[in-house]
Amino acid sequence: MKTSTNAKWQAVGDAIPVTLGRGGLAWGLGLHPAPVHDGATKREGDGCAPAGVFALTALFGTAGPESQLAQSAGLPYRCATGDLKCVDDPGSRHYNQIVDQTEIADIDWASCEDMLLPDTRYAIGAVVGHNPEHRSGAGSCIFLHVWQDATTPTAGCTAAAQADMTAVCTWLDAAARPLLVQLPQAEYARYRKAWALP
């Protein structure tokens, strides 16, 4: 974290282990400048977590709207219900958006992610601002969420133990403009100075 543009980065808490997409990392669409690279670019269904710098825009979870989490959330919070979906169909006008399907008059997607799962993966999480312009096929529904376990990769998200994810999500504050920076080590070293990374 840092308190101003000119301030130095300060560590908050201990490092936490995470799991990434089964395909590793591929350049995503976020806040970072378009890098000159030969690396892979994130695409729908590639199993890669996006590399780059991304806004964290909202929280979601199974806690109800009257819960302490929902009431004290530092980012907009959406309670997961059976009707809450994240659209991953590149042909849909709702691509890469979380929607309540009861509010959509003409459902135009063939596939979507349920935001209410039978396990704890979406018990609490944050929306990663990858592909904010909803470019068809550029990747969708990227989250920070609870992992299945410490060794199972995700389909393209970044996941951690539930206690760690809860700590991160309850710490996030929109006023601080929170970001996710995730890069391969070589790319981090390449862009650290130019992007003023910690």
For 60, 73, 94, 142, the CA distances from 146, given in Å and listed in that order, are 11, 17, 25, 13
* 35-73 per-position pLDDT tens digit: 666 678 999 999 999 999 999 999 999 999 999 999 999
CB 114 within 8 A of CB 62: no
pLDDT band, residue 135 (cuts 50/70/90): very high
Look at residue 18 and tell me if it is in a domain: no
Share of the chain above pLDDT 90, in %: 85
- What's the domain count of the chain? 1
CB 156 within 8 A of CB 51: no
Q: Which two tokens stand for residue 115?
A: 């935001």
Distance CA 36, CA 40 (A): 12
User: What DSSP designation does 195 have?
Assistant: T
Rounded CA Rg of the chain: 17
Q: Which two tokens stand for residue 116?
A: 């209410």
Q: Is the pLDDT of residue 2 over 80?
A: no
Look at residue 120 and tell me if it is in a domain: yes
What is the mean predicted confidence (pLDDT) over 111-134? 98
Look at residue 165 and tell me if it is in a domain: yes
Q: How much is the mean pLDDT over the chain?
A: 94
Look at residue 2 and tell me if it is in a domain: no
Look at residue 109 and tell me if it is in a domain: yes
CB 77 within 8 A of CB 59: yes
Q: Is the pLDDT of residue 154 over 80?
A: yes
Distance CA 191, CA 183 (A): 10
Residue 62 belongs to domain spanning = 25-31+40-191
Look at residue 16 and tell me if it is in a domain: no
Share of the chain above pLDDT 70, in %: 95
Q: Is residue 191 within a helix (H) or strand (E), and if so which, with residue range? A: helix 185-191
Look at residue 130 and tell me if it is in a domain: yes
Look at residue 64 and tell me if it is in a domain: yes
